[in-house]
Structures are given as structure tokens and as C-alpha cells.
Amino acid sequence: MESSRLIDRILGPRVPRAAAASHPDLYQRPRTLFTAAAIALGVSIMLPYWELRLKAPQFPKGLRVTAWVNRLEGDVHELEGLNHYIGIPSFEDGAVLERSVAIVGILVLAGLLLAGLHIHSRWVMVFVGPAVLFPLFFLADLQFWLWKYGHSLDPRAPLSGAVGEFTPPIFGPGRIAQFDTFAWPGFGLLLAVVAAGLAGRGLVAHRRAYRPLMLGPLVESDEGAPIEEVCV
């Protein structure tokens, strides 16, 4: 009984049939926004999230690294060779946990967004909120690892003293020793930001649609009988 009541509280009030018929857009809007956010988040897995270009006299064509949610691609081998001389840890040692759970985690976030279609209460924040915050979490984690790599130089490396500690910027130009760097967001991250925006707008639309039902009594017909409810 208690579990049934908890489920009812999470699902929230049902929408009166008359209200659903007279204001279809009101109740469809949050569903559309949550669905679009879930699709955008799911598609983002198939696109790069972050890219970095490095230029130096010994590499006139530059070096480029592309970060996906679970791997690095590009001139990784060349950079690993440079890391050895500078004393930077191997890329394989960074963000191991994040890379191992990234794809499943993002799919879970997309699934929670779809589950939010059926939540008509304040509990919707539990289902939708993580997708709204996900881009910020990704950027914070990326900044942490950029800082950690730049502050974990092996003092035994030949050039560690010449380079010194550094923190590359997440976006825009930077400099590491004789290397000029430039970083920018990938299309995957941009899609994740779009998904967060859609989910945030969905929460606003959800509040407009369902808050009156949570606060008010059951709508009645002119004859005083309760209007039949439906799930929207």
C-alpha cells in the first residue's frame, strides 16, 4: 500500500479529459521538449565532445586531438611521445572511470528524460534535472583533468623543469611551453547543451501545465460529477 501511494505521488495528478481536450498544446509541449532533449542527448554520443590543436616550430602542421565521451583520437601517439619528455602522465591514465561509464551514463540520462514524460509532479526534477546539469558536469570534469595533467609533471623527466606547471584553458587560445594551443567544443557537447536547454524549457512548460493540477481540486462538470481523467 505504501509503495503504491509513493508511486502515485511520483506520477502526480492525472489530467482531466476536458482540460486535455481544450488545451492540448499545454500538456503536449513538455512532452515534446523532453523527447527532443532525449534524442539530442542520445545522438551526441556519436559526435566528438572536445577538440584541441597544438602548434610548435617542430610541428608546422600542428597536432590535433579529438575527445569523444569514451576515447581520444587524432595525433595521440605523437603527444604521448612529447608527454614522456615533459613528464605529463599518459592519457590512458586519465578519466578512466568517466570514460568507462560515459556511454551508458548518457543513455541513462536520455532514458530518464523519456521517463519524465509520465511524471506530473515535482519529482520530474529528479528525472530531468541531471540532463540539464550534464554539460556543466562534463566541463568541470574536463577542467579538473586538464589541471591535474598540468600539475602532475614527473620531476625526473628531461624537460619538466623547463615547462613548469600549467593549466590549459577549456576553450580558446593557450600556451604550453613553446606550443600554442587552441581548444573548442565538439558537436557532441553542443548537442548536449542543446539538450540541456530543451530539458530546461520542458521543466518550465511542465510547471505551467501541471502545477495548477497539483494545487487545485479535481475539476468538476456543470452537473457536479467529476470529469473523467486521462493520462497525458
Average pLDDT of the residues of the chain:
86
Contact call for residues 199 and 34 (beta carbons, < 8 A): yes
The rounded distance, in Å, linking the Cα atoms of 103 and 100 is 8
The rounded distance, in Å, linking the Cα atoms of 101 and 97 is 6
pLDDT tens profile 86-144: 888 888 888 999 999 999 999 999 999 999 999 999 999 999 999 999 999 999 999 99
What are the cell numbers at 137?
Answer: 558536469
pTM assigned to the model: 0.86
Q: How confident is the model at residue 221 (pLDDT cuts 50, 70, 90)?
A: very low
- Strands of the 50-56 sheet, one edge to the other: 72-74, 59-67, 50-56, 179-185, 172-176
The rounded distance, in Å, linking the Cα atoms of 165 and 179 is 14
Distance of CA 209 to the CA centre of its chain: 25
